[in-house]
Structure 1
Amino acid sequence: MNSKRNRNLVLALLFLGWALGNLDRYIMNYAVLSITEDLQLSPSSTGLLLSSFFAGYAIMQMPGGWLADRFGPRKVLIASVILWSIFTGLTGAAWSLASMVVIRFLFGIGEGGFQPSSSKIISLSFPKEERGRAMSVMLSSSGIVALIIPILSAALLTTIGWRTTFIIMGAAGAIIAVLYWFYIKLPESNTTVRTGQTNVSGEKGIFGSLFRTPMVWNLVVAYFCIYAVNWGLATWIPTYLVQNRGLDLISIGWVQTIPGITMLAGIYLGGYIIDKLSNGRDRLAGGISCALIGILLFLMFTATSVTMFIVYQTIVNLFIAFVVTLLPSIILKQLPSSVTGTAMGIANTGGQLAGFITPMAIGFIVDAFNGSFNAAFWMLIVFSVICIVAILTIRDKKEDLLEKASA
């Protein structure tokens, strides 16, 4: 293990990288208002643009983990940051819908290797008793970015414009890659060789046993559904508030900080509550949360004022954060530690596929209903109902999985 000082430096640098990656994802949801106008995009085209990142990101989830195991996480981490920085900068140079979709897809490919490689670096740098804390710091980066991004994006996009904003963010990523090169050092040769010798031969057996386990498919469905709700709201709420509620970008920036605060609070509070709940009760809490998400979504789009819309959105973010925190904890508690990494990659693929499909689907729905978002909200409500079923029907299968893996 690294010294405590080096571990804290590694954690700070990884947090910085995760925060920048989340910043790019979230700022696109606001920049798309100007991009749509500049490139003259329809709602369907806008949905395709918003989804293109998630296509590349989902594709790279499992290969990214394998590359980190095979060639070492430091190499994959640096390559990932370099690639995403290039395509983030190129976003500012896009001249058409086709060029923008290709650039964002390749950006997703680049960023797809960051999460598995950074997670592996944490496992190599930190002792077991500190890994949970380190991962919670990583998860909090998305909540912090969601909190500051409405105001930050409004300030940037109304002063320097979306093109310059993405170019600056690409340059920031290049700086982070340089910091990783100089300051993140791991015993790469030993860990890479050892990993390659012990794990590759059993790779097909691990994937096969996981794919034959019903719990894994429950988790894939639950991940898909909760992230469909999460990214459906995150990607389209700015556009919805402008087109259907009459707000301007500055006003949106301020009012969206309130749901951002509850998302961050939900992550920390959810982790505390989940640790206190026994097996079974945690899933019951997850099912109840999904039911409340569906009810609150209905109240959101039927709200008669912007104030009540934001109130309901604030509360729904609290329950979304709880479910998003619950699902990985189920993997860590219910599956053997030898397969949790692979299982996390499979389950998270479901979540990222939701990020690809949902924004695009909402765009087509809004086009089909002449600018109305009502049907899109109903789609998200259906996803919340399916998530209830997926979570409540999860059964403890740890022993069965162990038997299949050893067969």
Structure 2
Amino acid sequence: MTTNEMTKKSRNLILALLFLGWSLGNLDRYIMNYAVVSITGDLNLDASSTGIILSAFFLGYAIMQIPGGWLADKFGAKKILLFSVIMWSIFTGLTALAWSLVAMIIIRFLFGIGEGGFQPSSSKIIATIYPKEERGRAMSIMLSSGGIVSLFVPLLAAYLLGTIGWRTMFVAIGAIGAVIAFLYWKYIKLPQDEAVDNNKNENASTKVNFKELLKTPLMWNLIIAYFCIYAVNWGLVSWIPTYLQKNRGLDLMSIGWAQTIPAIATIIGIYGSGYIIDKLPRGMDKILGSISCGVIGILLYLMFTAKSVTMFIGYQTVVTLFLAFVITMLPAIVLKKLPSSITGSAMGIANTGGQLAGFVTPMAIGFMVDAFNGSFDAAFWMLIGFAVICIISLLTLNDQKGSLLNS
């Protein structure tokens, strides 16, 4: 079977399976933000320790992004995909055995290492089986898993933590991962040559090597933009449950219901963004992305100065719409501007910035909260600063120069 011989049904099946895997990965990351409330109580941890636990996963995840992408390009995306799902399933289950802060940090770090190859390898599969004009929408479907998961995770977490507890919960999630690994092994069938592009015009660029990729200004702009937008995203996602509980006085169930509204907005934003991005003329995506980052910065200020929980959730909901556009736009740039033969490496490099943000930001917010006696004001100002830097990175992004982009 070659790329061109793949039927629409085959593509949709693979996309559905990848969506399932991304959903499980997002489930673990989102549910940890609620489980950590119980974990810190059981292990007697302070805010700084909580931040370290939340960040440990992202350190391992970030470290594995570039190797994972390179391995996917060299040995095949399916092999790396399977390895990632198996490894993260094992360490998700092992989270239940953590007995101390150090044990939890090590397990979550190794979990991040295990999952690190999933995004670049799955992105490479999308670039391999879909033509350029459909990749933005395919990626938006993948990314929408985060919004869908965040819609039901708050209520699911409140129920599971109150019934079976966090240890049994992580065992169950690990078991689901094992089932998904089996489905990948059995049903994901890729073209014989995963490096074959859907557009023949890309073939001239397939010989670009890893060092040349690192020297491309486009990649460094993407790394910075990824870092900044994901710093905002994971800063909010990881700490909003704790913030709403400790600073706004909500219980976990109330937080769960309140967070369904931004979650719905995220789903709408990501699906809509994928459609819009595929229709935009060249260069317009980064302009709209810059405007979105500016709006995000303004709304973050309005969020932490909001007088009521209702206003806070309202501003958060609009923030998620603009975040969704930028988060969908960045991987679409990689999938559309670079040849699919190096998509794994390129996505791994760019996404390293995003995952380093996931490592740094929750931990930094934890230290800030302790330093300012429980106040989150400094943390919100930090996130606003990241939104401003993202504007600069996108405005200076040049996707029309360089041998990598002359496809």
* TM-score, length-scaled by structure 2: 0.90
Distance 1:356 1:372, change over 3 A: same
Partner of 2:272: 269
Does residue 324 (structure 1) correspond to residue 338 (structure 2)? The answer is no
Distance 1:339 1:10, change over 3 A: closer
User: Is contact 2:48–2:370 with CA below 8 Å preserved after alignment?
Assistant: yes
Paired amino acid for 1:228: A
Distance 1:279 1:313, change over 3 A: same
Q: Quick one: distance in 2 between partners of 1:301 and 1:136?
A: 29
Distance 1:77 1:379, change over 3 A: same
Distance 1:47 1:401, change over 3 A: same
Q: Quick one: distance in 2 between partners of 1:151 and 1:27?
A: 10
User: Is contact 1:84–1:107 with CA below 8 Å preserved after alignment?
Assistant: yes
SS at match of 1:24: helix
Does residue 100 (structure 1) correspond to residue 104 (structure 2)? The answer is yes
Paired amino acid for 1:245: R
Q: Quick one: distance in 1 between partners of 2:188 and 2:339?
A: 29
Paired amino acid for 1:317: T
Q: Report how many aligned residue pairs link the two structures.
A: 395
Partner of 1:199: none
Paired amino acid for 2:113: I
Does residue 173 (structure 1) correspond to residue 174 (structure 2)? The answer is no
SS at match of 2:209: helix
Within the candidate set 45, 66, 69, 1:41 is matched to: 45
Within the candidate set 77, 81, 85, 1:77 is matched to: 81
Q: How far 1:13 sits from its partner (Å)?
A: 2.1
Q: How far 1:157 sits from its partner (Å)?
A: 1.4
Distance 1:120 1:216, change over 3 A: closer
In structure 2, the gaps of 5 or more residues are 196-204
Partner of 1:52: 56
Paired amino acid for 1:179: L
User: Is contact 2:226–2:351 with CA below 8 Å preserved after alignment?
Assistant: yes
**Cα offsets for 1:283-334 (capped at 9, x unmatched):** 2221221111111111111111111110110111111111111222333444
Distance 1:72 1:329, change over 3 A: closer
Q: How far 1:6 sits from its partner (Å)?
A: 3.9
Q: How far 1:124 sits from its partner (Å)?
A: 4.7
Of 219-228 and 326-335, more deviation after overlay is shown by 326-335
SS at match of 1:57: helix
Distance 1:339 1:13, change over 3 A: closer
Q: How far 1:41 sits from its partner (Å)?
A: 0.8
Distance 1:335 1:127, change over 3 A: closer
SS at match of 2:257: helix
Q: Quick one: distance in 2 between partners of 1:56 and 1:144?
A: 25
User: Is contact 2:147–2:267 with CA below 8 Å preserved after alignment?
Assistant: yes
1:179-194 alignment to 2 at 5 Å?
179-186=183-190
SS at match of 2:346: helix
Of 337-346 and 94-103, more deviation after overlay is shown by 337-346
Q: Quick one: distance in 2 between partners of 1:249 and 1:292?
A: 29
Partner of 2:198: none
Partner of 2:282: 279
Of 222-231 and 263-272, more deviation after overlay is shown by 263-272
Q: Quick one: distance in 2 between partners of 1:186 and 1:269?
A: 28
**Cα offsets for 1:101-148 (capped at 9, x unmatched):** 110111111111122222334445556665554333222211211222
Paired amino acid for 1:281: M
User: Is contact 1:334–1:397 with CA below 8 Å preserved after alignment?
Assistant: no
Q: How far 1:206 sits from its partner (Å)?
A: 2.7
1:4-43 alignment to 2 at 5 Å?
4-43=8-47
Partner of 2:351: 348
Partner of 2:236: 233
Q: How far 1:152 sits from its partner (Å)?
A: 1.5
Partner of 1:64: 68
**Cα offsets for 1:331-363 (capped at 9, x unmatched):** 344445554443322111111110011001111
Distance 1:68 1:402, change over 3 A: closer
1:109-128 alignment to 2 at 5 Å?
109-125=113-129
Partner of 1:312: 315
Partner of 2:199: none
Q: Quick one: distance in 2 between partners of 1:212 and 1:122?
A: 25
Distance 1:76 1:243, change over 3 A: same
Does residue 290 (structure 1) correspond to residue 281 (structure 2)? The answer is no
